[in-house]
Amino acid sequence: MDGMTTTIAPVLILLGPPGAGKGTQARMLEEQFGLVQLSTGDLLRAAVANGTEAGKQAKAVMEAGDLVSDEIVIAILRDRLAEPDCAKGVILDGFPRTTVQAQALDALLAESGQRINAAISLDVDDAAMVTRISGRTTCGGCGEGYHDSFKQPKTAGTCDKCGGTEFKRRADDNAETVASRLEAYHAQTAPLIDYYARAGALSRIDAMGEIQTIATDLAAIVKTTTA
């Protein structure tokens, strides 16, 4: 990795349940700090499309209907971290998901003198999240977003933007499904939270506030942990 000998690129992990705003915040960090967001799904698709050695292995596994192993994901991540655009640092989204993966990631980063600078948990209030997500609707005509509690059309049943009268609600945006997703997230992520807390790398942010407030809090952590 050229240029990595003097400056060690920071590595951040964003943890948070569906609807916590990870994607939005990751994009803002990319713009502010030049960091690159690395999503596991995107990495796998790109490696397969580019025909890398690890990508070929992943393709064979996926075509067989099996889950891609941690070893293959780590190999794909190793290749991606060596790309020039990652020199300013990366934000990992969707990996690691288990403590075994976290340990493998630590070993990978150690190869280049890197480490997890911060594992940032976007904390939510589950009851409020159920209300936030399950109340979402979208105009079928123009895609304008509305909410049963927070943003209703000025005229009931009519889109403010295009005048359309057809509104859609995602099938999985119901209270029961959202609550189930949150429960599954907490069960899966609790060991990771503990892992990074013990390593002294965990930071927590209240993700129920305004987007800009959350972004400011995140930026402060990035500056502190990558200085």
The catalytic residue positions are 22, 97, 136, 170, 181
Indicate the residue type of 220: A
Closest CA to 185 of 137, 116, 123: 123
Closest CA to 150 of 167, 131, 171, 164: 131
CB 89 within 8 A of CB 9: yes
Q: How many CB atoms sit inside 10 A of residue 189's CB?
A: 16
Whether omega for the bond prior to residue 10 falls within 30 degrees of 0, making it cis, is no
Q: How far is CA 197 from CA 73, 96, 193, in A?
A: 24, 15, 6
Residue with tokens 């959350």: 214
Q: Give phi and psi for 124, each to the nearest 5.
A: -125, 160
Q: Cα separation of 168 and 139, whole Å?
A: 6
DSSP state for residue 93 in the 8-state scheme = E
Between the two ends of the chain, the Cα-to-Cα distance in Å is: 21
Strands 90-93 and 167-168: unpaired
